[in-house]
Amino acid sequence: MSARPRTLGFNHVATMTADLDRYLAFYGEIFGAEVVSIMEADGDHPRMAIVDMGGESALNVFEVPADSIVGNRAQMGGRGDRPLCPGGGVGGGPPADPGSAGRGRGITR
């Protein structure tokens, strides 16, 4: 059996939130992430931000209604309530509210 490939980072991760401004403030404050661009909602395309996480990695964050963020957050593989962290882990996000949403791996408090 061959060795598993070595993962050195990620290019981008798409995630959703009901409060884009809060999400961006958190990543800016905690990780020093910089907002590359914000695209306002246009037709059926939601408001979106591209966030530079450093190391050639980015978050593409879509602001959507809280009730459209679905999934069993208590089950592995469901959408988690904590955003993805740089380096591939999950956790350390802001306190969850009904609309907060990183598409994590189902990590709950």
| Per-residue confidence (pLDDT) for residue 76, from 0 to 100 | 46
Given a cut of 80, whether residue 92 has pLDDT beyond it is: no
List of domains in the chain: 9-109 (3.30.720.120)
Give the integer Cα–Cα distance in Å for 73 and 28. Answer: 25
Given a cut of 50, whether residue 75 has pLDDT beyond it is: yes
Given a cut of 80, whether residue 8 has pLDDT beyond it is: no
| Per-residue confidence (pLDDT) for residue 89, from 0 to 100 | 42
